[in-house]
Structure 1
């Protein structure tokens, strides 16, 4: 039987709209499941004790007397399906043991202009850039160390050959054993970039897989759903952790986005063909005023001003 059909039967039964044939489907399922799997699922608790305990709880919750013969069936089905997921779709001859307690997740987020270090339970350290979020478990599972990232972060992963470290973003999955790397995965940007500093990582996307070596970068193009690798200067993508801004032939649009993220101040461009203005330069822990003056000096056609709590970059009059 298809999953959607089985769910519909359960829903109809709980609403009191199931036919006798549909009730019989649930009743047969109950008997099969208990016969084959009760010992594993309920740790040798007798089926009759389970029936009685569930019946008591249903009566207490509803505060009224009802026939429990089929209500218990529905409750048991729901509890079992919730506990073991799609176990009932697997042949009864090869049952699986119910999983352990659910993983609890925590989230750390940064605002514009902020960075934050997160120390994970395995000793790994994650440095979040501005406007980023990291979702991670309070304790890792026995088989994998998995976290989820929105935005940008630099990872310093504690080696553990028996428990891979996996970073999931919207379109990419990056797997490592012990290494340091940077992931840039902002929703508003056209590309997602994984830049390896040390060790090795495996990057997966759109059915492709790449193993990166140090100084290699994987670039996922969202619009084309394509991924490629290239050699890069790692410092251009990781020095933000030290308060250093790098512009290496970057478009004015990219520069404005970097300044906004780095200093936490909105930047508005009123420059025609801004994508065709290219900026190069390195700024080491410089105040925003210094950076803006240098940018207007590098390109004499541009000027800036503070207006309404934001930076406005325009053509010189």
Structure 2
């Protein structure tokens, strides 16, 4: 039995689609845990308990001795201690029952640690491969203590910023309910709080591939859409209609070093040259009609403005429109004539 099969079993029970045999086994487990507990676990604690139960079941099916996984959880109530103790005592018997019932034997068991951030500040996590994760409040991450030789895979619920150590022979995967992000070595942010909320991946450095999954229960090999992101690009998944959209980051940052940073001080500068400067500074592609902009120039100082503010000012001055399409800035302009060239949006001081 795989972890996917195990999750499916619990979902069938919750939705009334389990068989009599499955119902008997699940209800026996609930009764042994003590159904009369006054307090209940929140969603994050429940996920951690489910993960721990799964790892022990897998360990029993392999009939081997494994080091228990480390679970870091908020212990708010004494009832939590009683539930956790019940789980630990029950897992051996329950796991053996599942071994008899299951026909699929996993080739390898990999225990996962769980880190949950119940503070008000980001939590720094250092992974086995040297990669670092900044886990945001209200989020939790599951990951193996030691990555296998073929890949590095972690599971995120919530928001985190990843700085991945480059290892071309071992891709790094971040799995959420509806997206899988695959990288070799880069830095990026993933926001995936589950439910009906949109899921997003924003790249700061390097290049990542983002795949959408048909459902939260789909296997890691089932994908429906895919996009490739470069710095300052973002992928957003909309659960309402299962769309995966490629766009720009909410706040694109300058990619050039401080000593090579342009001052964006333009004096009667042709617009194609202006756009080329922005492309190099932000790593964003601009699409426009070169002939239409042949007579358009710009005189302005745009040092302190964000990229979006720069685009708005340029569009106003040149009487153009700009759109973000597929992670690119698309300029729509009727052009300029020598007699009607745009005046400065921010005149330079004398």
Query: What band does the TM-score fall into relative to the shorter chain?
Result: 0.3 to 0.5
Structure with the bigger percentage of strand: 1
Instruction: Return the TM-score normalized by structure 1.
Output: 0.44
Larger Rg: 1
Instruction: Return the TM-score normalized by structure 2.
Output: 0.40
